[in-house]
Chain A
Amino acid sequence: MAAELTSTKLNPESHLILDQPLLRLPHELARKNFKTVQRTVEREKEYVLPALKDAANASLNNTHTPDQTLAALDAMISRMQGLKRKMENLQDEEKKIQIQSRKRIQHLETLHKIPSLADVKYDQWSRVRLDRLLVDHMLRSGYSESAKQLAQEKGVEDLVDLGVFTQCQRVVESLRRGETKEALQWCSENKAALKKSQHNLEFELRLQQYIELVRSQDKKKKLEAIMHAKKYLIPNHESQKTEILRAAGLLVFTQDTKAPPYKSLFSLDRWNFLSDLFIRTHHELLSLPSQPLLHIALSAGLSALKTPLCHSAFTSSSSNSQSTTTSVCPICSTELNELARKMPYAHHTKSYVEGDPIVLPNGRVYGQARLMEMSKKIGAVESGKIKDPTTGEVFDENEMKKVYIM
């Protein structure tokens, strides 16, 4: 009984490991939003205050006609109105994010009110979590439509990040198509944050643009490529020296070259590399884990559930000994069986068998009570006989032998 109590104990704090991105992501978005506000305010301030001073000085020294002064003021007013509009938009955005965060906090809070893992409420909570994990997985694999539909049907839209991933997916697709525009735009939007990133996404994108210019073997394009390199690649010469030298060398090769580094530079696989790099950078920026949460949960879960019997060549005679009728183990079930094949199985220090075990002449072990009850239910067996539910063999009741499992 004591063991049962500890195994159903729910420690909400440590149970939330999988749910970190749930709060982290909206928070990163809020911070990003805030920084945009800060930047725009700063920019307008740097424009309006000096402009105002200049206007005052100019009108004091009579270098400005009144019309010019008015025009300068009008310009300032329209800039300020622009600022106001921007701030209003950002504030709306902010509000949405806060409402979402609020709902997420509430969702996690309910877990704290659930007394144990055996509680029905935990079951419900965990189902919502599974839906979240599924949507997360779908979004990451690029199945946005399914993700959207599932989130809608289950009503978990506020607990999943459809928008963020759809945007990410759009950029990824544009990269796979061989376009750098959207990815570069994303880079410029996140310039400040990207400086801290360990990946140099922007450089790689610019390099790709350069490669595409060289690829054509057109003289004009090659000149353009050199200009491009001067503008975008050379500024990184400290950190990217070898890459820049290679890029320069690329000018004398054609795209069907077999020479090692140049062949890979011309390779179309580079686009896949770029899209992967983009995903990595994107997730890092928003503190999203790089692998789907579903993978993390599943690989832990599969191992925790797996027993050596799940992939055994012999059919196991027992299923869950709690129920009288056998139900199929989830790892043995078709859905997960292959997936779990390479996983380690769970560690156990104690045997766990049905109460009052007996062995049949064919070596199968059953709980006596369950075997008797099942034999009774199966009408075809005469009294005094028992039927092995796994193999279907029929034995005499006195052929049952007690077995001791420590």
Chain B
Amino acid sequence: MDLVQKEHERLSKRLKASQGIKNVQSSIDLLQSARDSIAADPTQASITLAKLQNPVKTSFDSINDSLKETHSGLNKYTKSLDKLFKDRPLPSTEHDALSSQEHLINRAIAMHLLREGQFSVAATFLSEITEKRAAVHAPDAKFTDHGINLLDVDEVPSTEIRKQFAAMYYILQEMQENYNLLPAIEWSRENREALEARGSNLEFELSRLQFVWLYHGASDQQVTGISGRQAALEYARREFHSFVPRYLREIQQLMGAMAFCSNLQDSPYGSIFNNPSAWEDVAHSFTREFCSLLGLSADSPLYIAATAGAIALPTLLKLQTIMKAKRTEWTTENELPVEISLPPSYLFHSIFVCPVSKEQATDQNPPMMMPCGHVIAEESLKRLSKGNRFKCPYCPNESHFKDARKVFL
């Protein structure tokens, strides 16, 4: 990389210093002055012209010299690029499984744009897809119906989802720019059951932040003190009763803090009331809950997948070259032949690798737990037991195939 930078620097300098145009100008000047002198005194024409030959030629030569210099600069830069990307060709294009699924990719992109809040880009994108589709299908009317159908079902995230994301962005914006938690609280109240089933504290977290915010005097910095406390207490009286069964302790803390109002900073409750990242945390958990209720992951899947792809690519490329050199292919088409180590935050599921066969569990070969609590894959279990009692490979316990139970990770 350093080399590329250096060569590029050198190249730009060379271009800046390039004398090409100046030389062209000097030939023009030469020609012009010759013309003037001939016009003034036609008798001198042949001498002037004869004198002109060499200087014009030299100036062309120097143009070419400066071009040569640029050329060598360009070549050096090419070499530095080649060196940087040496042995790292882009993966071969033999089979691009994704190009047949263009519409799915487009849908993923559209949803990515929506969830990133790029509504206008998303709208343009969708309308361009529609246009193109219409153009493709226009010649044969037979397909037009089909096309429109595809558009609704597959390609474009339904208007419902679009509306949902718009709502999410409205709420987030209110929260982050105007410190207005009310739309978020309202949303969480509407979805209370679903949130509770997920074990989410969102509604209470939002209400608690609202309480703290009121306590600090809302947006108005002047009104600290009594009126803020008053407003917070009123809010608590009005809203907190529904939280009492689940969050009694937390509410007690909030109320207890009232007694320390003169010196809240040093009280045990200081951290609740002065948490600089509180707003960010709440916005984050709101986004997560909102997306989860839609059945979507909190971070853009497209982002995670593309990043994971970039991380995985070097390994996969190496594999490709090795396999090409050895002319082998891997047999299990449905599993990658190498392990790719992704950062821990990219692991989303538990993974069960059978300790006996070293294969990953699948629907066809699920993990089975023996009575002793050790787990191996079903196929390994069958192979070990052969219908008889057998010893667990990990402890002295003996059991029968039918004693083992399927577990879900």
Q: Given that A49-B60, A137-B105, A299-B97 are contacting pairs, would A15 and B314 also be in contact in the complex, using a CB cutoff of 8 Å?
A: yes
Q: Are B347 and A352 in contact (CB under 8 A)?
A: yes
Chain A binder among B175-183, B208-216, B288-296: B288-296
Q: Are B360 and A345 in contact (CB under 8 A)?
A: yes
Which residue of B125, B308, B363 contacts A312 across the interface (Cβ within 8 Å)? B363
Q: Are B99 and A295 in contact (CB under 8 A)?
A: yes
Enumerate chain B residues within 8 angstroms of A390, measured Cβ to Cβ.
408
Enumerate chain B residues within 8 angstroms of A321, measured Cβ to Cβ.
347, 350
Q: Are A112 and B1 in contact (CB under 8 A)?
A: yes
B94-150, CB < 8 A from A: 96-99, 101-102, 104-109, 111-113, 118, 120-121, 124-125, 128-129, 132
Which residue of A56, A70, A349 contacts B353 across the interface (Cβ within 8 Å)? A349
Enumerate chain B residues within 8 angstroms of A405, measured Cβ to Cβ.
352, 367, 375
Q: Are A301 and B197 in contact (CB under 8 A)?
A: no
Enumerate chain B residues within 8 angstroms of A149, measured Cβ to Cβ.
120-121, 124
Enumerate chain A residues within 8 angstroms of B12, measured Cβ to Cβ.
98, 102
Chain B binder among A199-207, A209-217, A335-343: A335-343
Q: Are A348 and B296 in contact (CB under 8 A)?
A: no
Q: Are A129 and B38 in contact (CB under 8 A)?
A: no
Q: Are A352 and B351 in contact (CB under 8 A)?
A: yes
Which residue of B121, B200, B336 contacts A153 across the interface (Cβ within 8 Å)? B121
* B93 contacts the other chain (CB 8 A): yes
Q: Quick one: CB contact mask for B188-221 with A, threshold 8 Å, 1 for yes?
A: 0000000011111100000000000000000000
Q: Given that A66-B45, A339-B98 are contacting pairs, would A296 and B345 also be in contact in the complex, using a CB cutoff of 8 Å?
A: no
Which residue of B285, B304, B406 contacts A330 across the interface (Cβ within 8 Å)? B304
Q: Are A84 and B108 in contact (CB under 8 A)?
A: no
Q: From A146, which residue of chain B is reached at the shortest CB distance?
A: B125
Q: Given that A87-B20, A346-B340 are contacting pairs, would A16 and B85 also be in contact in the complex, using a CB cutoff of 8 Å?
A: yes
* A190 contacts the other chain (CB 8 A): no
A279-304, CB < 8 A from B: 289-291, 294-304
Which residue of B49, B305, B309 contacts A55 across the interface (Cβ within 8 Å)? B49
Chain A count of residues within 8 A CB distance of the other chain: 149
Q: Are A41 and B298 in contact (CB under 8 A)?
A: no
* A354 contacts the other chain (CB 8 A): yes
Q: From A106, which residue of chain B is reached at the shortest CB distance?
A: B5
Q: Are B52 and A56 in contact (CB under 8 A)?
A: yes
Nearest Cβ distance between residue B141 and chain A, in whole angstroms?
A: 17
Q: Are A77 and B32 in contact (CB under 8 A)?
A: yes
Q: Quick one: CB contact mask for A1-26 with B, threshold 8 Å, 1 for yes?
A: 00110111001111111101001100
Nearest Cβ distance between residue B277 and chain A, in whole angstroms?
A: 14
* A162 contacts the other chain (CB 8 A): no
Q: Which of B24, B332, B358 has the most CB of A within 10 A?
A: B24
Nearest Cβ distance between residue B9 and chain A, in whole angstroms?
A: 9
A338 to B340, CA, bound (A): 22
A275 to B129, CA, bound (A): 19
Enumerate chain B residues within 8 angstroms of A41, measured Cβ to Cβ.
20, 60, 63-64, 67
A41 to B258, CA, bound (A): 85
Q: Are A339 and B63 in contact (CB under 8 A)?
A: no
Q: Are B39 and A344 in contact (CB under 8 A)?
A: no
A180 to B232, CA, bound (A): 74
Q: Are A30 and B347 in contact (CB under 8 A)?
A: no
Q: Are A377 and B344 in contact (CB under 8 A)?
A: no
Which residue of A3, A66, A359, A374 contacts B407 across the interface (Cβ within 8 Å)? A359
* B84 contacts the other chain (CB 8 A): yes
Enumerate chain A residues within 8 angstroms of B93, measured Cβ to Cβ.
289-291
Enumerate chain A residues within 8 angstroms of B301, measured Cβ to Cβ.
330-331, 333, 335-336
A392 to B56, CA, bound (A): 92
Q: Given that A7-B343, A320-B345 are contacting pairs, would A336 and B408 also be in contact in the complex, using a CB cutoff of 8 Å?
A: no
Q: Known contacts A12-B1, A335-B112; can you find 12 more A-B pairs with CB under 8 A?
A: A16-B84, A73-B34, A105-B1, A298-B302, A317-B350, A321-B350, A322-B345, A331-B301, A332-B297, A332-B348, A336-B301, A347-B336
A-B contact pairs, 9 of them (CB 8 A): A129-B306, A145-B128, A307-B351, A331-B305, A333-B297, A339-B108, A378-B196, A389-B199, A404-B394
Question: Measuring CB to CB, which residues of chain A are less than 8 angstroms from any residue of chain B?
Answer: 3-4, 6-8, 11-18, 20, 23-24, 27, 30-31, 34, 37-38, 41, 45, 48-49, 52-53, 55-56, 59-60, 66, 69-70, 73-74, 76-77, 80-81, 83-84, 87-88, 91, 94-95, 98, 101-102, 105, 108-109, 112, 117-118, 126-127, 129-130, 133-134, 137-138, 141-143, 145-146, 149-150, 153, 289-291, 294-305, 307-310, 312-322, 325-336, 338-339, 342-354, 359, 363-365, 374-375, 377-380, 389-390, 392, 401-406
Going nearest first, the 5 A-B pairs with the smallest beta carbon separation are A301-B309, A330-B301, A329-B348, A66-B42, A379-B246
